[in-house]
Amino acid sequence: MFFASDNWAGAHPKIAAALSANAAGFDAPYGNGGLDQSVAERFNELFEREVAVFFVATGTAANALSLASVNRPGGIAFCHREAHMIEDECGAPEYLTGGARLCPVDGPLGKMTAENLEAALSRYEPEFVHSGQPMAVSLTQATEVGTIYSLDEIEALAAIAKKRGLPVHMDGARFANALVSLDATPAEMTWKRGVDIVSFGGTKNGCWCAEAVILFDPSKAREFGFLRKRAAQLFSKSRFISAQFDAYLEDGHWLETARHSNAMAARLATAINASGKARLGWQPRANELFPIIAKETVEKLETAGAAFYPWNAPQGFAGAIGPHETMCRLVTSFATTQEEVDRFGELIA
Amino acid sequence: MFFASDNWAGAHPKIAAALSANAAGFDAPYGNGGLDQSVAERFNELFEREVAVFFVATGTAANALSLASVNRPGGIAFCHREAHMIEDECGAPEYLTGGARLCPVDGPLGKMTAENLEAALSRYEPEFVHSGQPMAVSLTQATEVGTIYSLDEIEALAAIAKKRGLPVHMDGARFANALVSLDATPAEMTWKRGVDIVSFGGTKNGCWCAEAVILFDPSKAREFGFLRKRAAQLFSKSRFISAQFDAYLEDGHWLETARHSNAMAARLATAINASGKARLGWQPRANELFPIIAKETVEKLETAGAAFYPWNAPQGFAGAIGPHETMCRLVTSFATTQEEVDRFGELIA
Amino acid sequence: MFFASDNWAGAHPKIAAALSANAAGFDAPYGNGGLDQSVAERFNELFEREVAVFFVATGTAANALSLASVNRPGGIAFCHREAHMIEDECGAPEYLTGGARLCPVDGPLGKMTAENLEAALSRYEPEFVHSGQPMAVSLTQATEVGTIYSLDEIEALAAIAKKRGLPVHMDGARFANALVSLDATPAEMTWKRGVDIVSFGGTKNGCWCAEAVILFDPSKAREFGFLRKRAAQLFSKSRFISAQFDAYLEDGHWLETARHSNAMAARLATAINASGKARLGWQPRANELFPIIAKETVEKLETAGAAFYPWNAPQGFAGAIGPHETMCRLVTSFATTQEEVDRFGELIA
Amino acid sequence: MFFASDNWAGAHPKIAAALSANAAGFDAPYGNGGLDQSVAERFNELFEREVAVFFVATGTAANALSLASVNRPGGIAFCHREAHMIEDECGAPEYLTGGARLCPVDGPLGKMTAENLEAALSRYEPEFVHSGQPMAVSLTQATEVGTIYSLDEIEALAAIAKKRGLPVHMDGARFANALVSLDATPAEMTWKRGVDIVSFGGTKNGCWCAEAVILFDPSKAREFGFLRKRAAQLFSKSRFISAQFDAYLEDGHWLETARHSNAMAARLATAINASGKARLGWQPRANELFPIIAKETVEKLETAGAAFYPWNAPQGFAGAIGPHETMCRLVTSFATTQEEVDRFGELIA
């Protein structure tokens, strides 16, 4: 019953097999190998247009270098107040951009509202050097609290950015979970709605290390290659990332694992709602859920071997948490089994 | 006949097997898992003292963050003119230190001489802010041209650094190849001779991605953890690096692969010397060799499928290269076979 | 009637005369001249201990380099939400620290409360790398809205910082105005209450360019010299800064101009309160005041030649601003005359 | 007899008077005042085109921000090995660019040769990320050793840069001295020959603090404003820089002081050559000269009150320095008098 995070899981057998299968033999390093090229082609197909793909070591690197590639003097990126970039990256975006600022934007349950983004941006006058200048808008899909921007919401936020000439970045650490939840295509969830750069994450969904920056504007690709190398994020034996993405994307494997993960979250949600001992803070849309559980039940669950974390209620949470209750975060993954979920359900009942 | 670089090889079967063996199951991420802890213990044993170990994604990251951890305002690191940090890291050390400078130090065949290091450092007066200030000395072991610092040479360079209170860094991208060539212990080749920080590379010697920074001063460990995270170099599924290092270090596997690699280089050297069609620029000590080959022979070799690069003669190369000759670099690895070497030997004869 | 800002004023005649008096002759540059040395001595006397003094070009430089001198990996500085560092320095602190973050702390009328600082700091667990780590607390004295921390308040905030080993910085762009308002000594308002570093500003109080960083820990001085030079903030003809500070500090001139400036603000306040056409948002303690004025009166004043800016109501402003009213900021300086103030008073009446 | 450096002089009486004249009254800060605007207009006239002018605090800031404004990921700027940026700025260009590298280019007597620049640049292949990428060429006019690039030499170097799409920067800390020596116009010495950005220095030639970055491409101006502010180089009471430049440029005052300075250097040269006790290393073209003087004569001169520094012979110095001789640097300025020069001449004779 490991629900602590989706990165507690290892690698999906299919990914592990692909790594083993590509271990032997020789190939050009630094992204110039045969497999590297064919995986790049896969991404073109996936997004229905020519894109530039850059593997990096971590999701934090993907986010930070995405911003670094569009930063300007005094630049400020706008993202949700509880975004991973703000909460969990130890200042990497600030560091790797050379000092950009992240401006928190409010909104309920992990999502910036259009009104709040508009208001945050409108505080900056174009020629007023003292306050710095906006340089990007970044949204997280799925969000940190398991909610999802609809395609229209993405478009609305992107339109606000575009009006000011700002690029739009999507932190897609859980891209697949959001995609299958929306039943959309990668193109629909990104560039067709105004997204310019994606942090495309595979690690949380069954790879062990597969993160990529996707640029929809190929003219930025040349500089990004230098940017990545300078940030010490260019793997020599790049083919091992390619091997993961190759298996990940093949025959819709990534969508399948994401669907499984989301389904396990839904099943957990049902069990929790049925228990009478706990209730959901809000309805999960992807693979994270946030039940409010009686403290003694939390102890019982932990004693029984369930792993999960307490969590601070996010902005916009309208419910009440009693003095003997705790909000918790549970995350499912490709490796979560129905048995585990059901066992958790029995324990909590 | 892939002699282009040791990073053209994949992963050693033993490493690949260890990765597969650890793919299943759940464990704490970010270096806090069980395997992470036991591998940290392995490093303590290896170096015969308590050390702090930090996995990073690339050798470039290991070098750059090593310097970043000791940088000072106006800081300058001293390394050989042809060091990887200067030639092949796209300014990552400068970028990740926030603007430190690398000062090239001269010396024949990839090695700084004590005299030149002393002279380079003595140009800086302690209180003269205009010129900046020395902050570290970095030496590469084995060097970029397949030579090796003796233990006494390491000690002499380190003593010059220590006299000025400067930390000593060792770029050990090919640490194992040097170690077996010297027949020394890791402790002897490092802290016993004055080295403070090591970039400990496993990738070129049979891992697919296994690079670590080793700090011999544990009091620096706390800050380094933040430094690494801020540089987007903290893997979530860290256990996959641990699994590689675990298999790498087990039962001296890493020394075995390095010995194999060096032996293949020596065998290539013998074949080249025997050929009468080529000659070595200097004697290889590790797994790189630099023959001077007639241009028509180069073509013949390439046509036959041999992969290797032309190379500029390094500083201190005393020999002559004729107008119809080319200096080339050949690199062997754990994956190089005797058959390949012998076939190359036959072709060149 | 120039109340737009204290930096609209020029240089006090005494400062201008000191500049002229020192224009001739030769002296060592870069802070090594005779006048530089004697002014450094003045600062020792002023603060009743040995301090290290570093002139820089701007208050922004003083703030940013102060933080840069104490920054750590993933470092976060805590200051009031409406601090100059956050609002008006275009990301210079972030840039010159190499990516530190400024964490806004709430509090009414420009002042962090102890409770809020404690709460903000307590969100950071010492060993949790993901969130970054606190590295400094910075308070502004006088604040951006003309209020002042009492000596006890300074001590309370500093104690919270010290408990966590954090240095305390004071942005003293209006140091003198606060000092005379509190009727305290420089030592009492700073290191005796726990302040470690001061941005000591003279520009707003009658110099044309006189900003200094004061370090109370002389062991930091050596590195700071390199830090300043590397940030391109070391003047060659440093004596012209020294000349300003020399005249500024001589015979309490700086306190006199600050008293004048504060007195003019108080006189303006009285006039505004008496007018019946406007009211003060809160009582001014230094040289800035924030009246709420009927919009038609604003127009009338501007037409008559009064220069001042509208201002957003700060956090903690409890009053109401009617639809036909505007909150404005008025700033007095050494150059403000009683005549100007009285004329403004007549106009508004 | 102060020949230690041109920054040992104070401010020219005319500059000092202009400062005093502008000390009173109120004006908009941050470059928006009336005098700021009219001085900007002066620069347009001076350069015979619309330019963007940005005052900064130091020549180091001008150089570093010039490079920062054109830097790219992995960027490398090319300048003479003994350039001020390399030798005397404590890594400010590296720091303020966020980690760019300065690549030294060789050439006799302070001047890069076209051949050497071409060779240095040609080592970088456009798509090879490992080595980084050229981003600018910077030349110093007059050079650090008192020599001067001819207009044709400037054009030749600029052409090499342009061929690769690189911007050309001129470090004009002694712009005026070079200009009058060449008897050229500002336009001829800069943009008409391919220069894109100038560090325009007034401090060494009679101002006390007057340094500006001149951009010939006004489309870069907007971002530069933010860049400067973020680097903490935007003066609030900017009018005091304007006042200096206003007087400096008025009626060719700056050319007059530069001519005086160069003439004093020439007079010193004549005296030295006539002395028989010393000889010039090479012919001075601006206001610096480098005699080789017998050590006992050096002592005698110093005892008599002459201030100057010993100097390392620059690259390309073909002469010999005997064991009892020292190469020295003497610098004249607007403040150097004929009497001082003649007294030095008498002493050395």
DSSP state letters, C241-267? HHHHHHHHHGGGHHHHHHHHHHHHHHH
| D residues 15-44 lying closer than 8 A (beta carbon) to C | 15-17, 19-20, 22-29
3-state secondary structure of C26: strand
Interface contact flag, D127 A227, Cβ < 8 Å: no
Q: Does position D79 have pLDDT exceeding 90, yes or no?
A: yes
Residue in A closest to C90 by C-alpha: A132
Contact present, A95 and A102 (Cβ < 8 Å): no
Task: Answer yes or no: is A7 within a domain.
Answer: no
- pLDDT surpasses 90 at B273: yes
The reply to whether residue C96 touches residue D231, judged by beta carbons under 8 angstroms, is yes
Q: Do B301 and B180 share a structural domain?
A: no
For A169-200, how does the pLDDT look when each residue is reduced to its tens digit (9 = 90+)?
999 999 999 999 999 999 999 999 999 999 99
Same structural domain, D107 and D231: yes
pLDDT classification of C215: cutoffs 50, 70, 90? very high
Here the CATH number for the domain that contains residue A319 is: 3.90.1150.10
On the question of pLDDT at B135 being above 90, the answer is: yes
Q: Given CB atoms, is A279 within the 8 Å cutoff of chain D?
A: no
Is C179 near chain B, with CB under 8 Å?
A: no
Q: Are residues C49 and C88 located together in one domain of the fold?
A: yes
d(CA C100, CA D149): 42
In this prediction, residue B276 carries a pLDDT of: 86
Q: How many CA atoms lie within 13 A of C211 on its CB side?
A: 30
CATH number of the domain within which D210 lies: 3.40.640.10
Dump pLDDT digits (tens) for A10-36: 999 999 999 999 999 999 999 999 999
Q: What is the mean pLDDT of chain B?
A: 96
pLDDT tens readout for residues D22-32: 999 999 999 99
pLDDT digits (tens, 9 = 90+) for B284-338: 999 999 999 999 999 999 999 999 999 999 999 989 999 999 999 999 999 999 9
* Contact assignment for B230 to C72 by CB distance below 8 Å: no
| Chain A residues inside the 8 Å CB shell of D224 | 73
Contact yes or no for B10 and A26 at CB 8 A: yes
- Is A240 found in the same domain as A201? yes
Q: Please tell me the pTM assigned to this model.
A: 0.97
Instruction: Note the pLDDT of residue C324.
Output: 95
Closest B-chain CA to D91: B74
Nearest Cα residue in chain B from A17: B20
Cβ proximity of B29 and A8 under 8 Å: yes
pLDDT, average across residues A218-246:
96
Are D201 and D302 in a shared domain? no
Q: C318 versus D212: which is more confidently predicted? A: D212
Chain C CB contacts of D208 under 8 Å are: 19, 23, 237, 240
The verdict on a CB contact (< 8 Å) between C74 and B234 is: no
Euclidean distance between CA atoms C12 and C19, whole angstroms: 11
Residue C189 in domain = yes
User: Do A90 and C97 lie within an 8 Å CB cutoff?
Assistant: no
Relative to beta strand C101-105, strand C75-80 is: parallel
Strand C309-310 relative to strand D291-294: parallel, antiparallel, unpaired? unpaired
Domain count, chain C: 2
| Mean pLDDT, rounded, for A44-70 | 98
Residue of A nearest to D97 (CA): A98
For B283, B302, C28, the CA distances from B344, given in Å and listed in that order, are 18, 10, 68
Helix, strand, coil tally for chain B in percent (to 5): 45, 15, 35
pLDDT (0 to 100) of residue C205: 98
The answer to whether the CB atoms of C91 and A100 lie below 8 A apart is yes
Question: Same domain for B221 and B258?
Answer: no
According to the model, what pLDDT value does residue A277 have? 86
Count Cβ atoms below 10 Å from residue D280 Cβ, excluding itself.
Answer: 17
Query: Domain boundary residue among A252, A286, A305?
Result: A252
Model pLDDT for residues A281-319, shown as the tens digit of each residue: 999 999 999 999 999 999 999 999 999 999 999 999 989
Q: Which of residues 191-230 of A touch D (CB under 8 A)?
A: 222-230
Residues with Cβ within 8 Å of A55's Cβ and at least 6 positions away in sequence, in order, are A31, A210, A211, A212, A235, A238, A241, A242, A245
Q: Minimal Cα–Cα distance from C2 to chain A, Å? A: 21
Residue C61 domain-assigned (yes or no): yes
Q: Tens of pLDDT along C249-305?
A: 999 999 999 999 999 999 999 999 999 889 999 999 999 999 999 999 999 999 999
* pLDDT for residue C276: 86
Query: Could you check whether the bond before residue B269 is cis, i.e. omega within 30 degrees of 0?
Result: no
Q: What is the DSSP letter of C319?
A: S
ipTM higher than threshold 0.95? yes
Give, for D77, the enclosing helix (H) or strand (E). Answer: strand D75-80
* CA separation for the pair A116, A110 (Å, rounded): 13
The amino acid at residue B124 is Y
Task: Give the distance between the most distant pair of CA atoms in chain B.
Answer: 61
C125/A contact by beta carbon, under 8 A: no
Decide if A246 is inside a domain.
yes
**Would you call A91 and C98 a contact, using CB atoms and an 8 Å cutoff?**
no
Name chain D contacts of C15, Cβ cutoff 8 Å: 23
Q: Chain A closest CA to D271's CA: distance in Å?
A: 51
Residue D205 near residue D15, CB atoms below 8 Å: no
Question: D23 vs C16: CB contact, 8 Å cut-off?
Answer: yes
Distance CA B249, CA B161 (A): 30
Does any domain span residue D100? Answer: yes
| Cβ contacts of A28 on chain B, cutoff 8 Å | 4, 8
Same domain, A183 and A275: no
B167 and B70 Cβ atoms separated by less than 8 Å: yes
Q: Per residue in B68-112, pLDDT tens?
A: 999 999 999 999 999 999 999 999 999 999 999 999 999 999 999
User: What's the pLDDT score for residue A42?
Assistant: 97
CB-based contact (8 Å) between B287 and chain D?
no
Q: Is the pLDDT of residue B29 over 90?
A: yes
Task: Answer with the one of C202, C230, C253 that is the final residue of a domain.
Answer: C253
Query: How is residue A49 annotated by DSSP?
Result: S
Measure CB to CB from residue A129 to each of D99, D130, D226 and give the nearest one: D226
Of C277, C304, C292, C273, whose CA–CA distance to C330 is shortest? C292
Q: What is the pLDDT of residues D116-165, one digit of tens each?
A: 999 999 999 988 999 999 999 999 999 999 999 999 999 999 999 999 99
- From residue A72, give the alpha-carbon distance in Å to each of A157, A312, C194, D316: 21, 34, 37, 41
The boundaries of the domain holding residue B204 are 13-253
pLDDT digits over B81-91, tens only? 999 999 999 99
Q: What is the mean pLDDT of chain C?
A: 96
Same domain, C243 and C274: no
D145 plus D105 within the same structural domain: yes
Q: Are residue A247 and residue A178 in the same domain, yes or no?
A: yes
Kindly state whether residues D212 and D258 are assigned to the same domain.
Answer: no
Indicate whether A98 and A200 sit together in one domain.
Answer: yes
Q: Name the CA dihedral angle for C81, C87, C88, C93, rounded to a multiple of 10 degrees.
A: 70
- Contact criterion met (CB < 8 Å) for B209 and A208: no
Of C90, C208, C307, the CB nearest to D237: C208
Residue among B74, B95, B131 whose CB faces D99 most closely: B95
Q: What is the arithmetic mean of pLDDT over C211-231?
A: 96
From D234, D251, D268, give the residue that closes a domain: D251
Minimum distance, in Å, between the CA of residue C300 and any CA atom of chain D: 21
pLDDT of residue C218: 87
CB-based contact (8 Å) between B52 and chain C? Answer: no
Task: Kindly report, residue by residue over C34-53, the tens digit of the pLDDT.
Answer: 999 999 999 999 999 999 99
- Nearest by CB to C22, from D10, D24, D235: name it: D10
What are the chain A neighbours of C102 within 8 Å (beta carbons)? 101
CB contact under 8 A, A19 and B15: no
| Residue C1 located in a structural domain | no
Q: What is the pLDDT of residue B294?
A: 94
Nearest to D73 among A130, A133, A223 (CB): A223
The verdict on residue C7 lying in a domain is no
Does C307 sit within 8 Å of D26, measured CB to CB?
Answer: yes
Contact assessment for residue C9 and residue C2, using Cβ atoms and an 8 Å cutoff: yes
pLDDT > 70: what percent of chain D?
100
pLDDT at residue A163, as a whole number: 97
* Residue D75 touches partner B, C-beta closer than 8 Å: yes
Residue D95 lies in a domain: yes
Q: What is the mean pLDDT of residues C83-100?
A: 98
Out of A64, A237, A307, the one facing B209 most closely (by C-beta) is A237
Q: Which residues of chain B have a CB within 8 Å of the CB of C134?
A: none
